[in-house]
Structure 1
Amino acid sequence: MDAVLFDMDGVLVDSEEYWVELEEEQVLPEAVGEGVVDDEEITGMNYREIHGYLEEHYGEHLDMGREEFEAYYEDAAEELYHEHAELLEGFEALADDLRDRGVRTAVVSSSPLDWIGIVVDRFGIDEHFDAVVSGNEIDGPSKPEPEVYEIGAAEVGVDPSECIAVEDSENGVEAANRAGMTSVGYRTEINQGMDLSTADHVADGPQELRGLLLELTS
């Protein structure tokens, strides 16, 4: 394998815990009512598309306009990425090892570019990536559609069949699979209930992820 593409939320940083809490306790109960939507349905999706998804599938319950809905996420992102999210344990050492092997690396996320920029700048990890692909670059729907990963492969100059995508969600794994990549499901304490069975490999925690990626790129 010649490239490793990292999802951001729930992989590169542990932000998924905070997004899940926000959605479970504030956004979804106010938007559609408590217990109507499972978190797994929307994890990995671009936040701007979630409102449309709720409108399509739960329109009879939806009681929040798009502007108010998106404002929840935009306000939360500033605090979350600046103050709470922590970098994947051992990421910089892993990135150095991958670079030593000639492996290309990228961030491939449905999140907006400015959110990714906060993370990259805060942790000073820009030098570890050959490309950053965000939801801003997608013409159509985000994950589980494969376009964001197809763009990622093109940006690093590697055929999708030679790319590994690291994902923590069902939508992300499906996007990677549909793009023709080797998918790695990343299991954490937060996504224990997530069905990652369609991933080619599953790694439980940062140490197992490191070992698997080094094995696949050896």
Structure 2
Amino acid sequence: MSESSGGDAADSRSGTDSPDATDAADTTDSASDVPDSAGGSAAEHPPEGAAVVVCFDMDGVLVDSEDYWHAAEREEILPRVLADGSPTPDLDEVTGMYYGEIYDYLAEHYEVAVDKDEFMALYDETAEDIYGERVELLAGARPFVDDLRDAGVPVALVSSSPRDWIEVVLDRFGLAFDLVAPAEEFDGPGKPEPGLYEEAIRDLGGTVDRAVAVEDSENGVRAAARSGAYTIAVRDDHNADSDLSAADEVVALDRDDPEALYRAVRHSTRTIRESVSGSSGRSG
């Protein structure tokens, strides 16, 4: 794992092309060229020209919601949920998890004072304010996602937020993806387990060895890395002390000028593709 302060993104898997190249992605990628691989496993020999797919987390990556969630959890939610005298978890323990699974985790490891329905209602109430009124979209995110899709790169939103929270963000900011994959709709454990990513990549028509995932939480980074996807972690104020070492590279995020992140995504998609096609790793 390498950590970038906003300069060149680290080489992804193999290849030596310059991350300063400005193409969003090759226009030859097509999801229809890739056979499904069973069980989320990568095809042993992906065909030349097979799609490279990109998966974005939402919270803390595309929108600055973790700033608000962390404050709400520390100051309002956890004090109401945990019994008096119970220790308080480090937020990294639960950040990035589906909120239904957060309750299960707290009930297993701490002493809770509310039932699951009350817990989830509290999160839903908080989410309405955070997503409907407060969050801001990462600068340039909409055109960047659009450019990837226009260039033939399938793009998914892989999130632990439930679909109704996600739809608020999509509607507010005019975002569109080839696939929206909420953890609540996945038949299995969510992040930090890899299944959610494995299924999303497969549903995009990709294979995990030809996938790029962008995450910010310890749980999300572990899920993406365990799936086999090339994992880019973003380092921001809300996760300044989080352990992101499972990622292939870490990019320091400037939310007003996130070109370093976009360059890392472009570079990794291009380099993964070229490592299979056998090119020299340099674009002409």
How do 1:75-94 and structure 2 match up within 5 A?
75-94=125-144
Q: Cα deviation per residue 1:154-205 (whole Å; 9 max; x = unaligned)?
A: 2211111111110101110111111111111111111101110110011111
Partner of 1:55: 107
Alignment-mate amino acid for residue 109 of structure 2:
H
Structure 2 residue 44 is matched with structure 1 residue 6: no
Alignment-mate amino acid for residue 75 of structure 1:
E
RMSD: 1.5
How do 1:1-218 and structure 2 match up within 5 A?
2-32=52-82, 36-58=88-110, 61-126=111-176, 129-205=177-253, 206-218=258-270
TM-score normalised by L of structure 2: 0.72
CA distance in 1, matches of 2:125, 2:260: 34
Instruction: State which structure, 1 or 2, has the greater radius of gyration over its C-alpha atoms.
Output: 2
The SS at the match of 1:86 is coil
Q: Cα deviation per residue 1:30-56 (whole Å; 9 max; x = unaligned)?
A: 222575210000000001111110111
Between 181-190 and 96-105, the greater mean CA deviation after superposition: 96-105
Query: Contact between 1:2 and 1:102, CA under 8 Å: does it hold in 2?
Result: no
Alignment-mate amino acid for residue 267 of structure 2:
E
The SS at the match of 1:174 is helix
CA distance in 2, matches of 1:163, 1:192: 26
Identity %: 48
Alignment-mate amino acid for residue 132 of structure 1:
V
Query: Contact between 2:212 and 2:269, CA under 8 Å: does it hold in 1?
Result: no
Query: Contact between 2:55 and 2:156, CA under 8 Å: does it hold in 1?
Result: yes
CA distance in 1, matches of 2:174, 2:112: 40
TM-score normalised by L of structure 1: 0.93
Q: Which residues of structure 1 form unaligned runs of 5+?
A: none
CA distance in 1, matches of 2:219, 2:259: 24
Aligned residues: 214
Offset at 1:66?
1.4
CA distance in 2, matches of 1:162, 1:147: 16
Query: Contact between 1:110 and 1:135, CA under 8 Å: does it hold in 2?
Result: yes
The SS at the match of 1:217 is helix
The SS at the match of 2:238 is coil
